[in-house]
Amino acid sequence: MNQTAVEPKIRTGKKLSRQATQLISTAIALLALVVVFTLSNPNFISMMNILNILKQASPIIIIAIGQTFVLITAGIDLSIGSVIACSGIVAAICMRAGWPVLIAILIGLLFGVAVGAINGLLIVYGKLPPFIATMGTMTTVRGLALFLTQGIPIGNLPKGFTQIGTQRTWNIPNQVFIMVILALIFGFILAKTKTGRYTYAMGSNYEATRLSGVNVNRTLITVYMFSGFLAAWAGMIMTANVISAAPTAGDGYEMDAVASSVIGGASTLGGEGLIPGTVLGALVIATLRNGLNLSGASPFIQKIIIGIVIITAVFIDRFRRND
């Protein structure tokens, strides 16, 4: 997350790095939305509503972080939505079998990591394009979720678990804490560690990175494991929040994750993306949804508007880049 703090010390010859301008413009867009919605409905800016937005945004932010890693490598992870559902179900089954909550969560998270590892292995050793590999696991894992539950949500979860999604600490929803911690950890990994650097390098030029002696196979598999891990966290939060594990949960969330990353400056061509940008991008989408809801816009209209916002954001970025 410190990338922008470090960058100015390294003379680029430019006034501001591209990444910094991207962050600033996403922040301005978010601010503009807040102003517009506040003017149209003063309740929008209430503490309660802001916390509400953050709470709603938390799972999207978490999965978007994983998707950002994947996008930077010039890949895509379509299995995220299915992993959200199935990891929640796996944890729920463990809990209903009477296992301790912590162990159940751990197994749910491991499930996500395992799906990520399978994605990575299919891409690295099976030589499948990421789109195809993760589309395959998307369907398979969704099928698994339906099979395990026979299509019926699993309820009756222990309180020790559901409080992750329903309780507050210091008046702040618990999932917001989890989101912030994960964002800090993975923001640090991307901006400040070897793994993060290799992630960017692979997306910028895979062959040159391989010829530089980077273990590209391992790094790529790791990146998909990150994505699976984060999707499983979103699964835990969402399951806890609605107090039941539904096999249809998270449907279509992978696209929200792509949208957040792209609004925040990630490129689907690889090599570009920042965690702070992605967090802002997810907040843009969450704010838009919330604000439109408050002003009574229908869900159909919301879809139209969000679609247009995504296209505009990418378009503006392309335009500026050609400059």
Partner 1 sequence: MSEYLAQLLDISKSFPGVKALDHVNFDLRPGEVHALVGENGSGKSTLVKILSGVYTKDEGTILINGEETVFPNPRAAQDKGICIIHQELNLCRHLSIAENMYLGREPKKILFLDQKKQIEDAQAILDRLNVDLDPTTRVGDLTVSKQQMVEIGKAISTNARIIIMDEPTSALTVKEIDELFTIINVLKREGHGIIYISHRLEELAAIADRVTIIRDGQHIATLNYEDTDQEAIIRYMVGRELKEKFPRVPTNPGKTIFEVKNLSAGRAVKDVSFSVREGEILGIAGLMGAGRTETIRAIFGADPKDGGQVFLHGKEISIHRPLEAIETGVFCVPEDRKKDGLCISMPVYQNVTLPNMEMVTDRGVVNTAKEVAMASATINELSIRTPGVGQTVKNLSGGNQQKVVVGKWLVKPAKVILFDEPTRGIDVGAKVDIYNLMNELKKQGIGVVFVSSELPEILGMADRIVVMCEGRVTADLDASEANQEVIMQYATQYM
Binding site for partner 1 (CB under 8 A): 6-7, 9-15, 17, 192-198, 200-201, 204-205, 207-215, 271-272
Residue placing its CB nearer to partner 1 in the complex, 17 or 25: 17
What are the φ/ψ torsions at residue 170 (nearest 5 degrees)? 45, 40
For the chain, what's the residue count?
Answer: 323
Residue placing its CB nearer to partner 1 in the complex, 22 or 244: 22
Residue placing its CB nearer to partner 1 in the complex, 42 or 213: 213
Per-position DSSP letters for 100-134, written without gaps between them: -HHHHHHHHHHHHHHHHHHHHHHHHTS---HHHHH
Residue placing its CB nearer to partner 1 in the complex, 186 or 198: 198
Residue 105 contacts residue 236 (beta carbons within 8 Å)? yes
Q: How far is the CB of 276 from partner 1 (least distance, A)?
A: 17
Residue 132 contacts residue 75 (beta carbons within 8 Å)? no
Q: How far is the CB of 240 from partner 1 (least distance, A)?
A: 32
Residue placing its CB nearer to partner 1 in the complex, 195 or 302: 195
Q: How far is the CB of 209 from partner 1 (least distance, A)?
A: 7
Strand partners, 172: 169
* Residues with Cβ within 8 Å of residue 119, at least 6 apart in sequence: 77, 79, 130, 133, 134, 137, 224, 227, 228
Q: How far is CA 45 from the centre of its chain?
A: 25
Residue placing its CB nearer to partner 1 in the complex, 139 or 193: 193
The first and second tokens of residue 62, run together, are 């978490």
Q: How far is the CB of 23 from partner 1 (least distance, A)?
A: 17
Residue placing its CB nearer to partner 1 in the complex, 38 or 195: 195
Task: Report d(CA 18, CA 68) in Å as an integer.
Answer: 17
Q: How far is the CB of 218 from partner 1 (least distance, A)?
A: 10
* Residues with Cβ within 8 Å of residue 65, at least 6 apart in sequence: 182, 183, 186, 187, 230, 275, 278, 279
Residue 225 contacts residue 117 (beta carbons within 8 Å)? yes
Q: Give kind and range of the element (H or E) at residue 273.
A: none
> ∠ at Cα 80 (78, 84), nearest 5°?
150
Residue 4 contacts residue 276 (beta carbons within 8 Å)? yes
* Residues with Cβ within 8 Å of residue 252, at least 6 apart in sequence: 81
The first and second tokens of residue 191, run together, are 């901006």
Q: How far is the CB of 54 from partner 1 (least distance, A)?
A: 29
Strand partners, 245: 154
Q: How far is the CB of 64 from partner 1 (least distance, A)?
A: 22
Q: How far is the CB of 249 from partner 1 (least distance, A)?
A: 34
Q: How far is the CB of 8 from partner 1 (least distance, A)?
A: 9
Residue placing its CB nearer to partner 1 in the complex, 213 or 296: 213
Residue placing its CB nearer to partner 1 in the complex, 17 or 302: 17
> ∠ at Cα 167 (169, 170), nearest 5°?
15
